[in-house]
Amino acid sequence: MGSVPAEEAAALEFGGLVGDLREVYESGRTRDLEWRQSQLRGLVRLLEEKEEDIFDVLREDLGKHRGEAFRDEVGVLKKSVVDKLQNLKNWAAPEKAHTPLVAFPATALVVPEPLGVVLIFSCWNLPIGLALEPLSGALAAGNIVVVKPSELAPSTSAFLAANIPKYLDAKAVKVVEGGADVGEKLMEHRWDKVLFTGSSRVGRLIMTKAAKHLTPVALELGSKCPCIVDWLDSNRDSQVAVNRIIGAKWSTCSGQACIAIDYVLVEEEFAPTLIEMLKSTLKRFFTKPEFMARILNEKHFKRLKDLLADRRVAASVVHGGHLNPKTLSIEPTLLLNPPLDSDIMTEEIFGPLLPIITVKKIEDSIKFLKSKPKPLAIYAFTRNENLKSRIIEETSSGSVTFNDAIVQYGLDSIPFGGVGHSGFGQYHGKYSFEMFSHKKAVLKRSLLIEFMFRYPPWDESKIGMLRRVFRFDYVSLFFALIGLRR
């Protein structure tokens, strides 16, 4: 069996599961490059052959349209796995490292090796991508993997449990379904790495549990990702910016994404124009309700409803605000200058509500950002090179993207991850391989040459020799060794 059904998970002795997986890892099967490549090919087949099934479960869990599901999960994920297949041989090869002349003859290598048995907690908003992207990296690195899908996306969780054993090595890859209690039981055991994607609250619990076994942890957490919108030179540029803002807010799981735009910063003078362009473009983009995902469940719907229940916040709504509890849908909503101390401006929104905060000068946005926790991403639409430089140099975030938003998530050539309160650890592309690898240093020396000044009994002459070694003064060292002074 390659999966553990939810109804059995509570009674399962996870210690036995982890022990069995360690035996498989110790057998050495996952270290073979061909085995790793076969697992990646299996993931590609899964994405190709089960594409329609994936669309179905994402629609059931989140109301995602097949276009959004392909763009954000199936398509981008297949591209990433194929990239790993094409580059794995180079990534897994030992890298030569420099050795100083004084060590001659010697060679130094950095050898990537798998960590062992790793645990991946995925999140419900991108339930296919956030499970299979790190899984592909862990398998490429040669690890045994347990995936714990989110119970809040039950159809996707069941799909992964049923299909991963059919396409991957069922003895080396396990899917464990269940709720928070199952996650807690899994964390009672020793893992060689844990990756968790989700809320800061649960992330703290994961770290606390991991500390018992000194298990290394990577956390991908949420944050309030800001978007700076500067004056742009033309109506066309402004329209492109608005298109991309809408795509990064309402077209990605209805704003229920850790890298979605959380709020906009714009100059007072430009705010009315921006709002009108957002209104007209929203109307043009979302001509049918099914083009935007729904809110996950009643609990999250109520949380968003409560954000708007604050009278001060409700008074700031300039567009939208309609809520339908029967369909768990919320109209795209724009708010102009809601109170900065309100929940909507202090908590991650994770939904289709977009506050627009005005500043006197666009440069004031940098001071505003520096007063907040470090976000997962900062977005800025501007042609001002000085402003770009200041954002890069004066702020800290997991990533910075200029004149677009969210697309950095799909680039395999750059790392994805947070900093500070938004998490730590980086993956995607080669960085997924490296997240689940240990770079082992290997030094090989000959017994041919021996320098006795390395050893006691000490005298000033030996200390002088060491001084020459540490400043790489080989000419002086040579003369000293042969009894001459230079």
pLDDT tens digits, one per residue of 258-283: 999 999 999 999 999 999 999 999 99
Cα separation, 463 vs 485, in Å, equals 15
Asked if 169 and 146 touch (Cβ cutoff 8 Å), the reply is no
Question: From residue 233, how far is each of 238, 384, 387, 405 by CA, in Å?
Answer: 8, 10, 15, 19
Q: Which among 177, 220, 267, 434 is annotated as catalytic?
A: 220
Helix axes 154-167, 51-62, angle to 10 degrees: 160
> Can you tell me the mean pLDDT for 2-7?
54
Q: What is the predicted pLDDT for the residue at 103?
A: 87
The answer, yes or no, to whether residue 5 has pLDDT greater than 60, is no
Using a pLDDT cut of 90, give the percent of the chain over it: 91
Active site residue 220: yes
Cα separation, 277 vs 158, in Å, equals 41
Q: What is the predicted pLDDT for the residue at 176?
A: 96
Cα separation, 233 vs 153, in Å, equals 43
Three-class SS of residue 415?
coil
Give the amino acid at 426: Q
The answer, yes or no, to whether residue 11 has pLDDT greater than 50, is no
User: What does the mean pLDDT of the chain come to?
Assistant: 94
Q: What is the predicted pLDDT for the residue at 477?
A: 87
Question: From residue 110, how far is each of 26, 101, 137, 216 by CA, in Å?
Answer: 22, 19, 19, 20
Q: What is the predicted pLDDT for the residue at 2?
A: 58
pTM (2 d.p.): 0.93
Asked if 217 and 206 touch (Cβ cutoff 8 Å), the reply is yes
Q: Which among 227, 253, 258, 267 is annotated as catalytic?
A: 258
Higher pLDDT, 2 or 408: 408
pLDDT tens digits, one per residue of 424-435: 999 999 999 999
